[in-house]
Chains A and B, each alone.
Chain A
Amino acid sequence: MSSNVATNSPPVVGNPMGTGNRRGDIIATAVVWLLLLSMPYWMALIGGYTELAIRIVVMGLAAMSLNFLLGFTGVLSFGHAAYFGLGGYGVAMCIKYLVPSTPVAMLVGIATGTIAAMVIGALIVKLRGVYFAMVTIAFGQVFYFIAFRWNNVTGGDDGLSGWSRKALDLGFTTIDLPGNDKAYYYFALFVFALCVGAMALILRSPFGRTLIAIRENERRARFLGIPVDQHIWMSFVISCFFAAVAGCLYALLSNFIDPRALRWDQSGNFVIMAVLGGMRSFWGPLLGAAIFVALQDYVSSQTENWMSFIGVFFMLIVIFFPRGILGILKRSVTK
């Protein structure tokens, strides 16, 4: 199944994450960071607001973490909302019931999501292609049902509220995360930068190159003596780790988490963000997330038929833009 992926894509030469053009990559990266750093200041000019900017960063991180697995290892996971949502529930429950501290709660949230991914990853790592996708979908629902049913702890269908993010005490100064939207934006962007930097480093390492080799031709990688199952497991866990980080930021953003953050439709949203932006490029999923979040914000304020809209949107992307926006751009540049 994964060999299908390989035949559909041009072989990657040079930098696995970019256009193969070093100067172009540096310029693109610089532009992305400039836009991200200044986002709260120009968001209002184009009709947005700071919370929307934060949502873009958070969903962008989630989509990029999914793409670590989908685009760079060639493994289709359709259940990433589970680890995203577990991160969110970890944060919420830690602040509400255990320790009222933002960083401690984030550690708890990340650990929750990652441990779940380690266990489930070990169960599913032998499967490939559509079967892998199907099992990830099914397992994604376990946590949804737990959050939905375990009313007295998780708040059930109503979600978990009655807690809020705490100010960040750095010793020499305190950052007012709860009261200042922009402060929370830059906190989220800082975490985003750490995660994205780590992902880029991993992908440049021999380990990351091996993942790309598995994506391109699993059988050949296996014949070269690469323990493919272990690598896919590692990639799955790393990917879910970052998804859990995004989930933490998501819960902290609205001081609220509900079972919908864990559900299959959320997983589908992450996949479509990655595909829309271009899953063969490093920054593609961020672009996809930005478009998706902005559209969601606009369309759901205009019409009640959000589901039909998003459904048609999914189908149009699959039929007309399977390579994603950056995929198309990249192709026209290299031609």
Chain B
Amino acid sequence: MSQVLLFNVFNGLIVGAFYALMALGLSLILNLSGVINFAHGGFLALGAYLAYTLMPHIGFWGALLVAPILTAILGLIAERLLIRPLYGRDPLYSLLLTFGLAYVLEDVSRYIWGAQSLPFAIPSWLTTPLSSQFFFLTGYRIFMVLLVGLAVAGLFIILNKTRLGMRIRAGTLDLETVSVLGVNVRILRNLNFGLGIYLAGLAGVLAAGMLGLQPTIGTSLIMPSFVAIIVGGLGSLPGTLLGGLLIGVASGVTTVYFPSATEAVMYVMMGLVLLVRPRGLLGEEGRVQ
């Protein structure tokens, strides 16, 4: 029993890492631009499919490196053409637009790569279990947790140590002042969007190796990402990370005892958090109004 529990906690941690990676990108965009990017799941799927297409040519590692960057470039273009005209308007419109974009991206993926689940080959040395007792500890899973950790660390280094990151953080607090100080806010928002989409693309490549590749892969991950942001705290990136991991582990544990509530449990958590602390676990005060 304890081994099953351990297995599911670990599983939940991995799924939570996906949620967190996706939610961090969503959160970046939401905090700076006030846009709920519903198409985030669509970009995630696109990243995964691009990796699938690139893999025969440049191998797994090459695809892992290149596909998220290509996805981010598509994100930059989408932001420039579709989302930028909507800044300053009611958030309803950007939400509806990305909603439509999500439909289009999913349908395009289905049109190009087909509706069936595609096999996503990962290097064989990564798939063998490391020990016979802990059968679930395959190299790929450990590798994935490490890589997500690396990506998150990289993100926080960018945000804290680079000029771009500092501007993003400053813009989150007061975009007008940042603009007055001479920062080109349009470019800042564009790059920030690209950064968010990069994380989605990366999550897509990793998720494809774990969950298989199908057009709906993005839609199934986006709702939990919303929950992760709300549970972790609005406006707080560490909160989003915590929220993702928490709901991942919670659904993992629930799978053991009450499998049909696997999804429902995260919404129960969200309800509890909103009841006790409407701004979320690590949310900033005053952000929600």
On A, residues with C-beta under 8 Å from B are: 1, 4-5, 8, 70, 76, 78, 120, 123-124, 126-131, 133-135, 137-139, 141-142, 145-146, 149-150, 264-265, 268, 271-272, 275, 305, 307-308, 310-315, 317-319, 322
Contact = CB atoms under 8 A, between A and B. Distances in A.
Contacts, number: 132
A46 to B, nearest CB: 27
Interface string B268-281: 00110011001000
A128 B97 contact: no
Interface string B82-104: 10011001111111110111111
Given A5-B90, A305-B107, A138 B230 contact: yes
Interface residues of B, number: 46
Contacts of A124: 274
Interface string B105-122: 011100100000000000
Contacts of A138: 223, 226-227, 230, 267, 270
A135 B264 contact: no
Nearest to A5: B90
29 contacts: A1-B91, A76-B91, A78-B95, A124-B274, A126-B278, A127-B278, A130-B30, A130-B91, A133-B36, A133-B92, A133-B95, A134-B226, A135-B270, A137-B223, A138-B223, A138-B226, A138-B230, A139-B267, A141-B267, A145-B267, A149-B261, A149-B262, A272-B96, A305-B111, A307-B104, A312-B104, A314-B97, A314-B99, A319-B85
B234 interface: yes
Q: DSSP majority for the A interface? A: helix
Contacts of A126: 274, 278, 288-289
A143 to B, nearest CB: 9
B280 to A, nearest CB: 10
Contacts of B30: 130, 134
A139 B268 CA distance: 9
A124 B288 CA distance: 10
Contact of A315 (B92, B100, B230, B234): B100
